[in-house]
Structure 1
Amino acid sequence: MVGRRDALLTRDKGQSSVGSRIVAAVVVGVLIGCVVAFLAPNGLLTASPTPLIRHPKMVSSACESPEQVNLLKVDILSAKEKNSELKKQVKDLMEKLRLAEQGKGHAQEQFLVLGDSHKAGPFGTVKALRTNPPVIPDESVNPRLAKILGEVAIYKEIIVALANTNVKEMLQLWFTNIKKVGIPNYLVVALDDNIEEFCKSNDVPVYRRDPDQGVDAVGKSGGNHAVSGLKFRILREFLQLGYSVLLSDVDIVYLQNPFDYLYRDSDVESMSDGHNNMTAYGYNDVFDEPSMGWARYAHTMRIWVYNSGFFYIRPTIPSIELLDRVANRLSNDAKAWDQAVFNEELFFPSHPGYDGLYAAKRTMDMYLFMNSKVLFKTVRKDAKLKKLKPVIIHVNYHPNKFERMKAIVEFYANGKQDALDHFPDGSD
């Protein structure tokens, strides 16, 4: 107990000594502070006085030199130039915004799919990306065409038809009905001088390509199939310039504005050669092979081909690849039919030795975008269907195109109810 008490006394004395030293240090510090405050009332470190800043408006104009005036003028001019540039940037941004809104929310879908990885939503709510983003326009590809499209196209969309003198009569009926409907954004690609002058004399927007020895030879003298094959090469420039094209043959009668009925959610949106819901939109066709016994039935998926004479194509990478593939195959095989090649490249899947085209596609409503088989075999014989007004009718199934086109105009535009009656269902 005694040892413990001595230890406690010793510790108390040590703590008392430390406390005394702290108190002494505080007292000395206070005394030094008082002395410094007395000798240097503004502080030991004095800042330099803040200079007086005069506002430019306070400077008398009489004191301004000519050099200063010139500098001010230069500054004003520079500000005006910057303002003009900002206005241009705002205009460009507004155009980009309009294009983004036109996609009906596709920009948001692209962000969700192409951005960071994310979890799948609840069952039944997951939607895959269907719309590929457009390419960046490149006006250097064809400045002359870019200028024409800038004047004629609306919302970067345009109807395009290729024509030479062989189809002059049908071409006139084609653009006459386009004008009646009130469609302003269309363009004829003239393949010879005669058609170019014909379009100009009828106030029809026309574009004549720069001379191309191989292409011009086909364009001037070629028939329907030869000219049809050219379009895939020519359309490429339109897409590179950033324009969506509604490609149209001239054996088509326009009854409404087709741009009011497009979905614009796919790379290619095409009318069908199908004549009913099954053939136009696809069906499960069962193949029967009795020799296989129990496995005699094989299910196949079938759809009738897209019509390469009327389709809407957006300026995307898959679309341009499609045009390149078709044009390449047609140039290497003179016997190939452009419509068959067009569908093979669009639909055939990837398989060993072949990489398929990854393009989104949509089939148009067959009663709005109607082929002549649907019209003459079904619609004209059905009292209810006859009351429908198609957007366009493509006389693709029949050889006497011009006569049937005139009859279609009489029936739908002029109200002559028996105008279609005397034609056979097919060709004679």
Structure 2
Amino acid sequence: MAVGRRDKTASFRGSRIVVAIVIGVLLGCVIAFLFPYGLFNPAASVQNRRIGKTNFQIGSSSCESSERSKMLKSEIVSLSEKNSELKKQVRDLTERLQLAEQGKDQAQKQFLVLGEQHKAGPFGTVKALRTNPTVVPDDSVNPRLAKILEKVAVRKELIVALANSNVKEMLEVWFSSIKRVGIPNYLVIALDDHIEEFCKSNDVPVYKRDPDAGIDAVGRSGGNHAVSGLKFRILREFLQLGYSVLLSDVDIIYLQNPFNHLYRDSDVESMTDGHNNMTAYGYNDVFDEPAMGWARYAHTMRIWVYNSGFFFIRPTIPSIELLDRVADRLAKQSNSWDQAVFNEELFFPSHPGYDGLHAAKRTMDFYMFMNSKVLFKTVRKDAKLKKLKPVIVHVNYHPDKLRRMKAVVEFFVNGKQDALDPYPDGSE
């Protein structure tokens, strides 16, 4: 019996040992999982001390960090501004390059707009384009004027003259000659109320612009040159509306209908101040400079100026550009003469710093569209030339305009052969 109890006691003790071992293993696993670096890790203490030290350093240098932050923000703003400026410069350079490229092939583009490209034909058969296409009419520019022009113009063409009270007597001789010939398509731009009423009372088509302080002041009281400068600004609206204009000063006598004698193959078709074939149509003038020795003779091309008081202008882009250029220069250069500026813009070629106007031009027959120098210096003294009947006579070379205008009417209309004799070749 005693032996049996000891076996049971030994067995029970063995079981408790096994349980204790199992519990110990389980606790070890739990502790290993929860504390991988052990319950007492000296590295952790050192790390905590370092973190505390760092926090202290950060706290002690907060002012210095704030200053650096401000400096960095300032530098960022400065760099941003410089970057924006660089971007702007790049855009400007890009635009300039694009404009340069546009200018480079402008002629080709213009040709492509006008028609298809063509091969050059056989020798002697090639003819360049001379007539620019007309602009698309825009009635919104001046609806009131557009309605007047619809009634007055013939085939989208008309004579236009500017007048104020200073030229009332010449204006009457002017429109009387137009009525005598039977020209229906003409219009007076009245620069003051008196001229407007005068035209209406004489059954003359008239148009008075809407008030414009700058233009009206010159128009009411200006002399011939001042009024001449206005026409380039005023004519622009006519061209934008799609009408061709035969611009006329009032010191002109009409003897035939000028629209029957126009070519209409150019942007501008103008009478000349020239008095013979050379001066009117151009010539090779030799300049002599003896000091140059072998190269003393220099050849130059010369032509007498177009008369800005009588020219036919078509509604094309070059024509409008011409009016803009002349009007702009006259506004900025108060001492400039409109006729000189008109010719410079028409004839000066492109050169460094200046882009010339690409406008086609034609010189009118100086015997048919006659200036007063041709009449008084040459025609009246030649038996054959006296039989000519010009289209117009422009008394542009002489200051006693009204008297000579009446004499021209007497000579060409009433047949009084000695009507021109009392007048000298030039001015008195």
Tell me the TM-score range normalised by the shorter chain.
0.7 to 0.9
> Which position in structure 2 is the counterpart of 1:365?
365
> Which position in structure 2 is the counterpart of 1:227?
227
- Cα deviation 1:190-219 (Å, max 9, x = unaligned): 000000000000000000000000000000
- Conservation of the 8 A alpha-carbon contact between 1:137 and 1:241: yes
> Which position in structure 2 is the counterpart of 1:240?
240
User: Structure 1: how far apart are the matches of 2:201 and 2:242?
Assistant: 29
> Which position in structure 2 is the counterpart of 1:166?
166
Q: How does 1:117-132 map to 2 (within 5 A)?
A: 117-132=117-132
SS for the counterpart of 1:246 is: strand
Q: How does 1:145-184 map to 2 (within 5 A)?
A: 145-184=145-184
Q: CA deviation at 1:114?
A: 3.1
User: Structure 1: how far apart are the matches of 2:261 and 2:360?
Assistant: 18
User: Structure 1: how far apart are the matches of 2:284 and 2:115?
Assistant: 37
- Cα deviation 1:41-79 (Å, max 9, x = unaligned): xxxxxxxxxxxxxxxxxxxxxxxxxxxxxxxxxxxxxxx
SS for the counterpart of 1:396 is: coil
- Conservation of the 8 A alpha-carbon contact between 2:372 and 2:398: yes
> Which position in structure 2 is the counterpart of 1:134?
134
- Cα deviation 1:382-403 (Å, max 9, x = unaligned): 0000000000000000000000
Q: Which amino acid aligns with 1:304?
A: W
Q: Which amino acid aligns with 2:399?
A: P
Q: CA deviation at 1:118?
A: 1.7
> Which position in structure 1 is the counterpart of 2:188?
188
TM-score (norm 1): 0.74
Q: How many residues align?
A: 319
**1:320 pairs with 2:320:** yes
SS for the counterpart of 1:286 is: strand
SS for the counterpart of 1:196 is: helix
- Conservation of the 8 A alpha-carbon contact between 1:113 and 1:129: no
TM-score (norm 2): 0.74
SS for the counterpart of 1:132 is: coil
Q: How does 1:21-420 map to 2 (within 5 A)?
A: 114-420=114-420
Q: Which amino acid aligns with 1:290?
A: P
Q: Which amino acid aligns with 1:221?
A: S
User: Structure 1: how far apart are the matches of 2:288 and 2:132?
Assistant: 39
Q: Which amino acid aligns with 2:207?
A: Y
Give the unaligned 5+ runs of structure 1.
Answer: 1-109
Q: CA deviation at 1:233?
A: 0.2
SS for the counterpart of 1:279 is: helix
Percent identity between the two aligned chains: 85
Q: Which amino acid aligns with 2:353?
A: G
Q: CA deviation at 1:113?
A: 8.5
Cα-Cα RMSD: 1.1
User: Structure 2: how far apart are the matches of 1:113 and 1:369?
Assistant: 35
Q: Which amino acid aligns with 1:150?
A: E
User: Structure 2: how far apart are the matches of 1:246 and 1:194?
Assistant: 24
Give the unaligned 5+ runs of structure 2.
Answer: 1-109
- Cα deviation 1:11-61 (Å, max 9, x = unaligned): xxxxxxxxxxxxxxxxxxxxxxxxxxxxxxxxxxxxxxxxxxxxxxxxxxx
User: Structure 2: how far apart are the matches of 1:313 and 1:300?
Assistant: 28
User: Structure 2: how far apart are the matches of 1:117 and 1:137?
Assistant: 27
SS for the counterpart of 1:298 is: strand
Q: CA deviation at 1:140?
A: 0.1
- Conservation of the 8 A alpha-carbon contact between 2:132 and 2:316: yes
- Conservation of the 8 A alpha-carbon contact between 2:111 and 2:117: no
Q: CA deviation at 1:112?
A: 9.2
Hey, which bits of structure 1, 4+ residues long, moved more than 6 A? 110-113
User: Structure 1: how far apart are the matches of 2:115 and 2:316?
Assistant: 19
SS for the counterpart of 1:362 is: strand
Q: CA deviation at 1:366?
A: 0.1
- Cα deviation 1:352-405 (Å, max 9, x = unaligned): 000000000000000000000000000000000000000000000000000000
User: Structure 1: how far apart are the matches of 2:113 and 2:276?
Assistant: 35
User: Structure 2: how far apart are the matches of 1:198 and 1:114?
Assistant: 45
- Conservation of the 8 A alpha-carbon contact between 1:377 and 1:425: yes
User: Structure 2: how far apart are the matches of 1:414 and 1:342?
Assistant: 36
SS for the counterpart of 2:204 is: coil
Q: Which amino acid aligns with 2:359?
A: A
Q: CA deviation at 1:261?
A: 0.1
SS for the counterpart of 1:129 is: coil
User: Structure 2: how far apart are the matches of 1:115 and 1:367?
Assistant: 37
SS for the counterpart of 2:228 is: helix
- Cα deviation 1:60-116 (Å, max 9, x = unaligned): xxxxxxxxxxxxxxxxxxxxxxxxxxxxxxxxxxxxxxxxxxxxxxxxxx9998323
